[in-house]
């Protein structure tokens, strides 16, 4: 039966990997894989276990309890992401990101490269690196008209955004997972990874400056003759970004899960958004016509309708699918196999120099396999306490950086 489960997981993962070839959204195989795995466990009456991190052993449990446990852990991440996505969409509703374009006052390509790289580095540490990349590439299209040059700049923005998202607990989905899962704390994350992240941003920029694409001046004019869509754009930008930055401080002070602080931040930003739009929004409205009419004026309602739910559903499917393997003890036994058959790759010997091979395997693996399930699987395999010096796993979008 375990063979069937592994085959289902690998088939689902292959479908996710071949998303563009199959022309099927990756959320479909993720959700199907998750449901089939748990259905097999239920129908075959397979024993499920809970990992005791203190004793480093498996404790028998019931499927209902385990499913509810993993759903709760997954919901913490998804609710956090929903709050962050909504705040970003509210900022965009007021055209707040257009304010960033006001910082661009030069036509020299080398200075533009530094400016966009620094903006990507900072912005991706506050909002996730994918959103930061999209925002800055959108601004880039208005600043640089030459497509060839724009592609070079876009590539550097991606590198800088990935580096910036690595050192912040709210800069990438996987760092958020590690933070919410109490594997790392915000302060230790910044302490260990900020300087390496800066190096990962600065070195590529210094190398890129030697290329012809980043020499000379741009041909387009920087003056934007378009009137701002909203007079509150700058206010909502600073309020929204500030509210997201507030979340780690809220968790440190109250010791509550991060999604609680994110909901508070969302409430504050949404309140200002409704005040500025002079509209009332009721999520429990029973009058459909009234709801549709108010949606044209409600910043909150409009922002909620633009949230990328396919990504949320994908995370739900993939995280619960990995949770199924964890509940069966497969991940725990796999980690034990590493310790017994290949001691130099095991977690017990990770303080040695040869243990860097573990880092290499995770790094290469995350370039092939999506880093979200890889981090989820690593959290289930290795019982590493909070801020342990053994290993801090950090994502740079499609790569996995491990600082030991």
Given a contact cutoff of 8 angstroms between Cβ atoms, the answer to whether 402 and 392 are in contact is yes
Q: What is the dihedral of CA 85, 134, 166, 29, to 10 degrees?
A: 70
DSSP state for residue 392 in the 8-state scheme:
E
Given a contact cutoff of 8 angstroms between Cβ atoms, the answer to whether 386 and 404 are in contact is no
Residue 349 clears pLDDT 50, i.e. is over it: no
Question: Whose CA is closest to 119, among 149, 143, 86, 89?
Answer: 143
Residue given tokens 């017990």 in the structure block? 348
Q: Roughly how many angstroms between the first and final C-alpha of the chain, as a whole number? A: 37
Percentage of the residues of the chain whose pLDDT score is greater than 70: 79
Q: What is the mean pLDDT of residues 222-235?
A: 68
Q: Please, what is the angle between helix 330-341 and helix 309-327, to 10°?
A: 60
How confident is the model over 146-175, as pLDDT tens digits?
888 889 999 999 999 989 988 989 888 888
- Per DSSP, the chain holds a count of helices (H) and strands (E) of 17, 4
How confident is the model over 54-64, as pLDDT tens digits?
556 677 788 88
Is 51 strand, coil or helix? Answer: strand
Residue 392 clears pLDDT 70, i.e. is over it: no
Percentage of the residues of the chain whose pLDDT score is greater than 90: 34
Q: Which residues contact 368 (CB under 8 A, 6 or more apart)?
A: none
Query: Which burial class, exposed, middle or buried, applies to 199 when counting CB atoms under 10 A from its CB (0-12, 13-18, 19+)?
Result: exposed
Query: Which burial class, exposed, middle or buried, applies to 324 when counting CB atoms under 10 A from its CB (0-12, 13-18, 19+)?
Result: buried
How far apart (Å, rounded) are the C-alpha atoms in residues 215 and 113?
A: 10
Q: Which residues contact 378 (CB under 8 A, 6 or more apart)?
A: 362, 393
Residue 336 clears pLDDT 70, i.e. is over it: no
Question: Which pLDDT does position 403 carry in this prediction?
Answer: 39
**This prediction's pTM:** 0.81
Given a contact cutoff of 8 angstroms between Cβ atoms, the answer to whether 143 and 119 are in contact is no
Q: What is the mean pLDDT of the chain?
A: 80
Q: What is the mean pLDDT of residues 359-377?
A: 75
Residue 260 clears pLDDT 60, i.e. is over it: yes
Name the band, by pLDDT with cuts 50, 70 and 90, for residue 203: very high
Q: Where are the beta strands (DSSP E) in 165-294?
A: none
The segment with the largest mean pLDDT, out of 272-286, 346-360, 369-383, is: 369-383
Given a contact cutoff of 8 angstroms between Cβ atoms, the answer to whether 85 and 244 are in contact is no
How confident is the model over 59-110, as pLDDT tens digits?
778 888 899 999 999 999 999 999 999 999 999 999 888 888 877 878 888 9
Q: b/e per residue, 138-153, with b = 16+ CB within 10 A?
A: ebbeebbeeeebbebb
Q: What is the mean pLDDT of residues 21-33?
A: 90
Pull the structure tokens for residue 320. Answer: 């619960």
């Amino acid at each position: 039966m375990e063979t069937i489960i592994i085959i289902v997981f690998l088939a689902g993962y292959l479908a996710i990997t071949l998303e563009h070839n199959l022309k099927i959204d990756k959320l479909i195989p993720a959700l199907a894989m998750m449901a089939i795995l748990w259905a097999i466990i239920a129908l075959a009456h397979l024993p499920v276990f809970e990992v005791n991190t203190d004793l480093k052993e498996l404790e028998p449990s019931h499927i209902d309890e385990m499913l509810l446990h993993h759903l709760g852990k997954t919901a913490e991440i998804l609710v956090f992401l929903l709050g962050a996505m909504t705040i970003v969409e509210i900022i965009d509703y007021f055209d707040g990101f257009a304010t960033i374009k006001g910082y661009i006052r030069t036509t020299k390509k080398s200075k533009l490269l530094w400016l966009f790289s620094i903006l990507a580095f900072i912005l991706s540490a506050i909002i996730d690196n994918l959103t930061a990349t999209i925002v800055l590439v959108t601004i880039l299209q208005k600043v640089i008209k030459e497509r060839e040059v724009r592609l070079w700049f876009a590539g550097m923005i991606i590198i800088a955004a990935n580096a910036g998202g690595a050192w912040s607990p709210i800069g990438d989905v996987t760092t958020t997972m590690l933070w919410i899962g109490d594997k790392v704390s915000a302060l230790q994350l910044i302490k260990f990874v900020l300087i390496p992240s800066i190096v990962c941003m600065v070195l590529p920029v210094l190398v890129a400056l030697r290329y012809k694409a980043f020499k000379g001046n741009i041909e387009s004019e920087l003056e934007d003759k378009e009137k701002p869509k909203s007079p509150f754009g700058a206010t909502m930008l600073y309020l929204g970004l500030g509210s997201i930055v507030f979340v780690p401080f809220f968790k440190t002070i109250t010791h509550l899960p991060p999604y609680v602080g994110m909901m508070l931040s969302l409430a504050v930003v949404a309140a200002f958004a409704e005040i500025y739009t002079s509209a009332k929004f009721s999520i429990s409205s029973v009058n459909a016509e009234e709801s549709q009419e108010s949606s044209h004026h409600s910043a909150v309602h409009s922002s909620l309708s633009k949230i990328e739910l396919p990504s949320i559903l994908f995370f739900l499917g993939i995280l619960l699918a990995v949770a199924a393997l964890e509940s069966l003890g497969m991940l725990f036994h796999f980690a034990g196999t590493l310790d017994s058959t290949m001691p130099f790759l095991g977690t017990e010997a990770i303080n040695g120099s040869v243990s860097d091979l573990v880092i290499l395997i995770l790094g290469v693996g995350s370039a092939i396999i999506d880093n979200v399930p890889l981090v989820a699987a690593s959290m289930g395999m290795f019982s590493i306490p909070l801020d342990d010096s053994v290993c801090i796993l950090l994502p740079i979008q499609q790569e996995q950086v491990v600082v030991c």
